[in-house]
A and B are shown apart, each in its own frame.
Chain A
Amino acid sequence: MPETPSSSTESLEEGVELSVVVPLYNEEENVPHLVAAIAEALEAHSSWELVLVDDGSRDGTVAQVLEAASTDSRIRLVELARNYGQTQAMQAGFDHSRGNVVVTMDGDLQNDPRDIPLLLETLDQGYDLVTGYRKGRQDAVITRKVPSYVANRLIAALTGVKVRDNGCSLKAYRRSVLQQLNLYSDMHRFLPALAAASAAARITEVPVRHHARRFGESKYGLSRIAKIAADLMTIKMISSFRETPLALFVFASIVPLLTSAVVGASWLHRWMLNLGEHREVVTMPAVALILFALAAYLVMLGLLAEVALAESRMPVARRLPR
């Protein structure tokens, strides 16, 4: 694994307590402020590192990070080969950080590093993941706050993990949780739900400060609703049915099966009544059969899902009592 040019000191190599991970994408102007703010907020903390992940920025972000790293050996750069998006940048930060506790935050200074001690305190009260929720959020109402409110409610309803503000990047994790998390696609939006599903994490939330953006442009927009809808289905699938996909598919097959039965029976009924007259023989029976085929197809897919799962269950099954 590549290390930063400012070769970290020996004491840092071994057992850092706290890693702060910040993904950066075109945050040239924010980097110096960010670094200063974090260093100030963690002044009282004995052992920490700051892992700045450059997600293929096209501006001077890397140069700014290198400059900061040249004067402070606690700052490390992880430079991604191209722009992979926030999920992969976070995963890279997790993989390259060494602390027993990892705090993530945004690189745009909208989160306030002064909240980090509060997150750490709360974590110490016996949680695996502490997530901030933005009080007095400084963003546009229609394009940001309303969709976010709806999405958070939906995530809570679908996954049973009640987090008010999934979109707040300021979060603290125990290393043990991160070791069981594998982020892909755009899963950073659903980290608490994913952590609960994959690592059975104990989760709580604390209010954090939120500032308006000072430099640069916001990288979110309204255009993502279709993608998020698909991701929501995925997260529901993973959090509720990853152990029992067959149940989901059998459950889903009930509706077409019943509809098929009703349509078929009503057609048969009419057919019997109208013996000898003009009788409809194509559309209704076909509808019933197609719906029946769908039900059968869904059950078969459920079985296929069980096959896919069987592989991942093997290690458990092999643990036989002696």
Chain B
Amino acid sequence: MEGPDGRTTTIARIPGITPPDVTVLVTVTERPGSLLELHEEVREVIESAGYSVEFIFLAHPDTAALTTPLEPLEEMDDFRILITGRRVGETGLLRIGRDAARGRIVLTLPAYRQVELKGLAELVKHVESGAHMATAYRSPREDAMLNRMQSRVFHRAVSVLTGRRLKDLGCGVRAMRREVMGDLPLYGDFARFLPLLAMDRGYRVVEVPLPQHTRDRGARVYGPGIYLRRVLDLLGLYFLMRFTDKPLRFFGLVGSLLGGVGGVIMLVLFVQRMNDQGISERPLLLLAVLFVVLGAQSIALGLIGEIIVHLGATGRRVYRVREDGHS
């Protein structure tokens, strides 16, 4: 497996050790508290629920220093720190963690505390008892007015675009079967949308309320770049879920709208020309031609997309069969 930075990121599985029940992937990106405390608390919670646990802390070069206090723990077989060569984002860290994880169940946990850690065992139990993924939502929750509004707009947009309602995509605390995680596209900035992607592939996802951690409360202000990223993420997700096997439906629609507008303008100009008005100096003519050309380009791109999909369809199966229950 090639990592995002081009290096090999597969970690050799340690032989002679029984795989743990749960792998906890801790992504160290922003606003972390004490990682030592975090590790101890989570280990306590999971182990007292009766599961064996392994920890993988994942960090970027610029957050690597934060993991230094953890280094003595690497003596243990069930503790690892992985540091990427360059920033790969939350999603990239999770992808690397997924490839290194050995547990039946993978628990993703941002290093900054979003929820009270006592509830983590509950997520694991949901996965043990039949769900493919259990994702936490912060409840009860207190946020600044601004953040609440942002969150509402974001979740509304998600539900309009994908037809699926989720309560808290911003909460990265999730437990899932490892093979489910392996089946989801972890690229771009899709980590946020893991529950949606899982549902789209037919997996059962449950939402579990966990109390928000006090440190997660309060106002958070983001730069405009972050909002742009969110919008692009959403569009990417929408395209992925709706049109990956029928690109012409998308490009064809865009193309016929553009071409249609251009055509109407041309028709108007044509009528004017018939009434002896000169049109050769009208900028409107230029606009009409541009629209028609853009429309034609869009449709042509869609056709190329269809060729690629058709060629890639050999042996590819979109559907998944439900393999449990009933028997």
Contacts and interface: CB of A to CB of B under 8 A. Distances in A.
A308 B311 contact: yes
A184 B320 contact: no
A256 B296 contact: yes
Nearest to A300: B300
Contact of A294 (B297, B314, B318, B327): B297
Interface string B284-319: 011001100100110111111011111101111111
Contact of B293 (A185, A238, A293): A293
A91 interface: yes
A282 interface: yes
Given A233-B248, A233-B252, A252-B300, A80 B202 contact: yes
Interface residues of A, number: 58
Contacts of A252: 296, 300
Contacts of B314: 182, 312
A81 B306 contact: no
A280 B303 contact: no
Given A230-B248, A284-B280, A5 B326 contact: yes
A301 interface: yes
B304 A286 contact: no
B322 interface: yes
A284 B281 CA distance: 7
A78 B317 CA distance: 15
A184 B301 contact: no
Interface in A214-230: 226-227, 229-230
Residue with the highest number of chain A CB atoms closer than 10 Å, among B282, B290, B308, B310: B310
Interface stretch (A82-90, A104-112, A119-127, A169-177): A82-90
Contacts of A89: 319
A286 B281 CA distance: 11
Interface in A243-269: 245, 248-249, 252, 256, 267
B279 to A, nearest CB: 8
Nearest to B322: A79
Contacts of B87: none
A287 B296 CA distance: 15
A274 B158 CA distance: 60
B281 A282 contact: yes
B249 A230 contact: yes
A154 interface: no
Contact of B318 (A56, A84, A231): A84
Contact of A81 (B201, B252, B316): B201
Contacts of A234: 246, 248, 303, 306, 310
A249 B300 contact: yes
5 contacts: A81-B201, A84-B319, A237-B303, A238-B306, A301-B301
